[in-house]
Chain A
């Protein structure tokens, strides 16, 4: 991204798109990624061992086949026709081996899937929980598309590694190891030849790791960008269509898609050299073993029989090499994906949970701001130093132009952000010392953007209090005047609100989100432009509801419409983060200051 960040970008999020790191960073990032993988697999060690046993048993049973055939020919056949016992024994053994091989491979597949799916579920939960835990500040720069790509395509890469023979590779490696040992014992010289073949293989692996790491990082980054662009376009499809932007958007998507395709091609290219390269090394080693062995046979220092065995061993040693190459490739892909995921998981929320939380046993709802200074990151200071006390039960309206700091106060009181300096206290307790479930139960904010989740109307209201009964949900809807329109929906409270509340108008959405707050029944309620899209009758109903609701609780109301302000006990006129006027609406009107002027303008606009 080439945006010069006006705000402090929370830690790693901005570097998320980097693909080429210096050596040190690269190592650290890789270590973090492998560490996460290890951490995810740790609880499944027993299952992993069991899977390895199963896959080894299955291969052993399958390998036993040819041996049993030779046994049949060498032992059982000569015994015929007199003695059928050896034939029966060998035949029986063959059938047993077949059953073992089949059952073991089937069970292995199941166990491997269980490991993979458990790991994925674990990781999905971790990422989800982390997403919910991180502060708003993080979300404002990370973008939803990137989180979605972490949860979908990055996890897919890990799944491929787990499904694609994480365990199978162990048995392959074991086979290779045993073969190498067997060969060396049989004929040390040939063992040496095999070791020599190992050397270029090691260099090739190193080359592959270096290049595929960068390529996979690039692929992950472009894949995320592709997702970001897609999500943004589909979310804003009405605007795209209304402004004839289809061609431009398509060109942009095409550009990213091509970059993604090229990244994939680069990976294919690297792989297209790596896999045949390993094969080449294997085949050449066989040739060298043949040449050296053949020479020694001709010299008379090696028996032909031994050479046959040597060649079989060498060939078998390299047989699983394609599988290893595929595994290593999947591993690099998953590691690059886990780099991104572990980066997200390593983010620390800027709003930190208290180490020793203080409870609010009998919350009253007194709010106090002491010398609160606030700036978004390195940006300009929004609140230079605010002292403010709101007694329990008071309804305060914040009035002022855009940028006066109204919403900032709301975000500080609800702890969406922490103050740069100074303290925010609820009932005398610093809100940084209150555990977030306690804080959220007592301090609730309703914002202008009334987001509805897919699900029924009732479920959306119940977000305010998940254990609410249907009666309570309907009572909340009635209290804010949402009941009428809800009952007119095709299935009333059980109507599914479509994507982004498609069928529910903006005003109705605000009513539903008000009903949520009603249901939540908090000690302190913060309303940030929560009625902007309501029509006047709707607003009147909400206000009537509010008067009941706010009678005994603390409230901060931010509204451009002074009609909402009328129900306040006290009005604060803000400018540049400072309180210009402070008093009851009537006092301020008679005082003849800024609020009086605003009020006059508003009265004029009414009919």
Chain B
């Protein structure tokens, strides 16, 4: 995550103003809601006055004259104000509820869209819990602020400003004293805002981290259980939750000080005003009526001043939420579609070429940490190439460059002589299918999982019958016949929300998915690792037939997987050091023998215990 959060240097107002595009259409109803709220407060304020008027006027007169109409009119008047208040309150609620929830939904969808657009490199950096807390908790906070806090804040500030204005204009000395009391309040509010902002942000970040720990504790439940580390996990979770609790308490402490100040200072000022006012009245510089009016007006201002604390902290929390939201939204995707995407030639056959490719992860720091350096590799159209190398040599990274899951940091990847960065991502990925080494299945039916890469509409879409045919063929090739024994066959729901499958089963479905997409280029990342020998043999045999004509890059750890390939490329320390047929490389490349051949065993274990690199390797790379 970036060290200086986006927007942290903005003023609260400037930060919140970034919401404008999302709330634009919501402004009229929100303004209407504000007016209704104002009207409702006025009606509410009017009722006691009307009551007083009724009692003093018609009713007092009525006792003498038995004036029934006077009473009736008063009752009607009070009823009218009462109903007006209720009506305006109901109106306010109805006006703000639609825009509030709409804005929340629109912002949530915008973030989801953006997150799907951001490349894998971003998702490597950002823990899931942080994203989740932004898209759920922060946007929920914002919704509540829009429908409640914002109105409250504006209402409070307006009431206070008008009230203080009236006091200064009408109450002479007393008004000035009251205004003097307002000065420290303003200072305190500003200091509060600054401090609260930091803590509010910290608490929201910490709850995001906590969400992340929860996510990991569930995703890693098997490991925690296997080692009986549940109580250790609980212990460290407790520590983290306690940190959040302390932050929250700190936040409440700052908030408490503001609340105390907002109660204390105006009341103290009023105490001074009381003594001064009574003295002024006593010395006949003021009338009792003036004094009563002064205190009646301050009573109206008092409530909003106390409420100001709450609406302020709510606003600052909303501001942190906005910052956290835009921190993600303002992360420009470093992997984008070109401005003028090139279309792949219609007769494109799927020739992939890597030219002087370099790749380093963005946070790698030192250039020596580059994963790939000066990689040149040709995958001739229609052929199958096996990529062989030690674990961690960069094979998977290299494979991910073809469908642009990552972008090269140097050189280029060409598909039919077109730089993949000049193609629209969707266009490119329609032609390149991947079976990842971590087979990800989604909560959907077997059918939907296998047909994931077969579009339902748009370019490349095929009819229902063809989809069905492809699915069955892909399942057959991947030896995934087990799906027919599932409770609902291919319609059985799998993935997290459905049946859980074994590693080998998942891998076969991921393979079937890549095959069913019928791409021009197929990338298979160690696709058979979890299969047993017999199944592997069967898959290999069928796969070799299907792959005919498809440009395929298959990452292999075992000779049996290499057998799929027409040729083999050896990746060593981020460079391709040899390309050739399997038998050829066995003869010429010591590193290849070391990686793929079991016959090397004696050599390694006897002569160089503990070392994975043989002297022969260095000869090759030198």
Contact = CB atoms under 8 A, between A and B. Distances in A.
Contacts of B560: 605
Contacts of B278: 72-73, 76-77, 80, 87, 90-91
Contacts of A99: 264, 268
Interface string B225-265: 11111111110011001100100110111011101110111
B361 A503 contact: yes
Given A242-B429, A290-B74, A440-B228, A307 B55 contact: yes
A192 interface: no
A492 interface: no
A223 B613 CA distance: 52
Nearest to B125: A498
Interface string A443-465: 01111111111100000000110
Contacts of B610: 478, 481, 541
A69 interface: yes
27 contacts: A73-B292, A76-B278, A87-B279, A99-B268, A102-B261, A106-B263, A110-B253, A118-B245, A125-B241, A131-B217, A145-B496, A228-B443, A244-B430, A246-B116, A268-B97, A294-B62, A298-B62, A298-B66, A448-B530, A449-B503, A500-B438, A535-B557, A538-B612, A540-B605, A605-B533, A605-B559, A606-B597
Given A102-B261, A533-B529, A243 B440 contact: no
A98 interface: yes
A587 interface: no
B283 A144 contact: no
A101 B502 contact: no
Contacts of B222: 136, 416, 447, 449, 451
A284 B75 CA distance: 10
Interface stretch (A172-180, A274-282, A335-343, A418-426): A274-282
A328 B242 CA distance: 29
B150 to A, nearest CB: 16
B365 interface: yes
Interface string A1-44: 11110110000000000000000000000000000000000000
Question: What interface size band does chain B fall in?
Answer: 35 or more
Interface string A231-273: 1111111111111111011100110011011001100110111
Contact of B78 (A132, A286, A452, A544): A286
B271 to A, nearest CB: 4
A306 B361 CA distance: 81
Contacts of A354: none
A270 B251 CA distance: 33
Interface in A483-538: 484-485, 490, 498-500, 502-508, 511, 513, 516, 520, 529, 532-538
Interface in B440-490: 440, 442-443, 452-453, 455-456, 482, 486-488
Interface in A288-327: 290-291, 294-295, 297-298, 300, 304, 307-308, 311, 315
B543 interface: no
Given A234-B115, A499-B127, A132 B234 contact: yes
B612 A144 contact: no
Contacts of A88: 275
B5 interface: no
Contact of A101 (B48, B226, B267, B275): B267
Interface residues of A, number: 186
B267 A97 contact: yes
Interface string B81-92: 111011101100
A105 B304 CA distance: 15
Nearest to B54: A290
Given A69-B295, A101-B264, A560-B533, A283 B82 contact: yes
Given A144-B496, A243-B517, 14 more contacts: A3-B492, A91-B272, A105-B263, A109-B255, A114-B249, A128-B238, A132-B231, A230-B132, A275-B89, A440-B227, A478-B610, A498-B124, A520-B227, A537-B600
Contacts of A209: none
Interface in A386-404: 400-403
Nearest to B129: A148
B369 A62 contact: no
B340 interface: no
B542 interface: no
B364 to A, nearest CB: 7
A287 B260 contact: no
A364 interface: no
Nearest to A97: B267
Contacts of A441: 228
Contacts of A535: 389-391, 557, 595
A277 B557 CA distance: 71
Contacts of B47: 283, 286, 315
B279 A276 contact: no
Interface in B89-111: 89-90, 93-94, 97-98, 100-102, 104-105, 108-109
Interface stretch (A149-157, A196-204, A355-363, A365-373): A149-157
B570 interface: no
Contacts of A118: 245
Given A58-B263, A258-B105, A481-B612, A444 B97 contact: no
A244 B429 contact: yes
Contacts of B108: 257
B295 A490 contact: no
B392 interface: yes
Contact of B124 (A228, A311, A485, A503): A503
Given A294-B59, A538-B391, A250 B405 contact: no
Contacts of A298: 59, 62-63, 66-68, 71
A238 B260 contact: no
A469 interface: no
A602 interface: yes
B93 A537 contact: no
Contacts of B220: 451-453
A250 B109 contact: yes
Given A114-B249, A243-B429, A95 B90 contact: no
A153 B274 CA distance: 49
Contact of A253 (B102, B109, B604): B109
Nearest to A138: B221
B497 A3 contact: yes
B24 interface: no
B202 interface: no
Interface string A155-170: 0100000000000000
Contacts of A3: 492-493, 497-499
B254 to A, nearest CB: 10
A540 B75 contact: no
Contacts of A560: 504, 530-533, 536
Interface stretch (B8-16, B133-141, B192-200, B343-351): B133-141
A242 B612 contact: no
A272 B148 CA distance: 13
A536 B557 contact: yes
Contacts of A240: 116
Interface stretch (B157-165, B207-215, B544-552): B207-215
A446 B278 CA distance: 84
Contact of A606 (B98, B135, B498, B598): B598
Given A105-B263, A148-B211, A538 B390 contact: yes
A80 B270 contact: no
Nearest to B365: A490
Contacts of A136: 221-222, 225
Contact of B482 (A156, A261, A403, A538): A403
Nearest to B306: A105
B224 interface: yes
Interface in B372-394: 389-392
Contacts of A291: 71, 75
Given A76-B278, A402-B502, A232 B442 contact: yes
A471 interface: no
Contacts of A242: 403, 405, 429, 432-434, 436, 453
